[in-house]
Structure 1
Amino acid sequence: MDWRAWHQRYDDPGSELARRLLTVQAQVRDALDRAPAGPIPVISLCAGQGRDLLGVLRDHPRAADVRARLVELDPELAATAREQAPENVEVVTGDASLTDQYDGFVPAELLLLTGIFGNITNTDIQRTIAGARMFCRTGATVIWTRHREEPDLVPSICDWFGRVGFEDVWVSDKEAGFGVGVHRFTGVPEPLVKGERLFSFVPGGV
């Protein structure tokens, strides 16, 4: 997959990817709106150019409260995010599937898992969802995406989140052509276990 070419589709306002981005950003805004007073730690896995978060921070009234770590493997995409990121957003060029990347930055108030679940196996999706308990503080928001092509896994993903202490907040309609889900963590954060790999991308997606 040429991820740099894939990201260019964001610049076409009529593309499904651009419409999904607007939906994700709206949910990010809502998550920041309801965050408790004080610092808002944010983690983004496979962050790409950071558009999900950076586009919101440009004008959000609580932007200064955010302390974010964006992890992206592709050095060019990470460099683009780093150029646009404010001082309170750290961009790491590295493998986002490794739990070590988040040491010292968990638990977070907002966890972004966008652009991942359509590129990994069902087993890895479930492993990543279970691992989110290490990344989230109680009450934290998780935003994730997944395509709605058959087999449509969105209902199963919602169920998997529910089994490990996350409650549904919002899921996009199937008619939108893409899946965006929002969950709130109602459990107790688990200690970060370093040295674990949560997922591996499948060539060509799933």
Structure 2
Amino acid sequence: MDWKDWHDEYDLPGSWMARRLRVVRQQIRAVLDDGKPGPLRVISLCAGQGRDLLGVLADHPRRDDVLARLVELNERNAMLADDAARAAGLSGVEVVTADASVTDHYAGMAPADLVLVCGVFGNITDADIRRTVGFCAQLCAAGGTVVWTRHREEPDLVPVICAWFEDSGFERRWLSAPDAGFGVGVHRFTGQPRELARGERMFTFVGYDVLSNAKPDQT
């Protein structure tokens, strides 16, 4: 899978990826609009080219309040995200080229006011989704928000993911309609964040192409 070329579908008007991106940006904008005064910390796992967050920050009134860390393993995508942040004058945005599944890369930024887990849950096993949801309680500040995505193909895991978040101290704030063609969820953390465990791997990025060909007992 060429993950740089994969992003090209975002540029196709009407594609499911373009429509999902618009929705994710709307939810990010809403979180920033309602954010507490002062600095706002943002973490993005498997950030890709940063189109979701950077597309909002470019013209948002709170842009200079945001301290963000985007973690992306693909070097070309990370470079494009960094170039976009610099071109927009977003000095508070840091792009780290690294394995987004390792907790160490969020030290000093967690707990964050906004955690983006977009494009992740469709590319990892169900067990790792649940594990990652549990780690969100370490990544997210009290009152902070997680915006996440997952496809709604059968078996539709979105309702189960919502339940996992809610069992982990989050409350559901918003969920896209079942017939939207994609799943976008927004959960607010109502508990107290636990200390970030260092040296832990939250998930293994498998890829949706591999998962779609796997037997049920392999996911």
Structure 2 length-normalised TM: 0.93
Q: 1:205 to 1:171 in 2, by over 3 A?
A: farther
Q: 1:36 to 1:93 in 2, by over 3 A?
A: same
Counterpart of 2:165, as a letter, is: F
Show the counterpart of 2:110: 106
Show the counterpart of 2:178: 174
Q: 1:41 to 1:205 in 2, by over 3 A?
A: farther
Gaps of 5+ in 2: 212-219
Shift of 1:205: 4.8
Number of residue equivalences: 206
Report Cα offsets for 1:5-53 as digits up to 9, x if no partner: 1100011011100000000000000000111111000000000000110
Gaps of 5+ in 1: none
Counterpart of 2:131, as a letter, is: R
Show the counterpart of 2:192: 188
- Alignment partner of 1:15 is 2:15: yes
- Alignment partner of 1:120 is 2:147: no
CA contact (8 A) 1:114 1:143 kept: yes
Query: Helix, strand or coil for the counterpart of 1:181?
Result: strand
Show the counterpart of 1:198: 202
Q: For 2:210 and 2:174, how far apart are their aligned partners in 1?
A: 25
- Alignment partner of 1:142 is 2:146: yes
Out of 157, 163, 177, which is 1:159 matched to? Answer: 163
Counterpart of 2:150, as a letter, is: R
Counterpart of 1:117, as a letter, is: F
Query: Helix, strand or coil for the counterpart of 2:110?
Result: coil
CA contact (8 A) 1:120 1:205 kept: no
Show the counterpart of 2:53: 53
Counting only pairs closer than 5 Å after superposition, residues 59-78 of structure 1 correspond to structure 2 as 59-78=59-78
Q: For 2:16 and 2:64, how far apart are their aligned partners in 1?
A: 31
Counterpart of 2:97, as a letter, is: T
* Structural RMSD (CA): 0.7
Q: For 1:148 and 1:174, how far apart are their aligned partners in 2?
A: 7
Query: Helix, strand or coil for the counterpart of 2:161?
Result: helix
Structure 1 length-normalised TM: 0.98
Q: 1:167 to 1:205 in 2, by over 3 A?
A: farther
Report Cα offsets for 1:139-176 as digits up to 9, x if no partner: 00100000000000000000000001000000000111
Query: Helix, strand or coil for the counterpart of 1:183?
Result: strand
Show the counterpart of 2:216: none
- Alignment partner of 1:38 is 2:42: no
Shift of 1:2: 1.6
Shift of 1:187: 0.3
CA contact (8 A) 1:118 1:205 kept: no
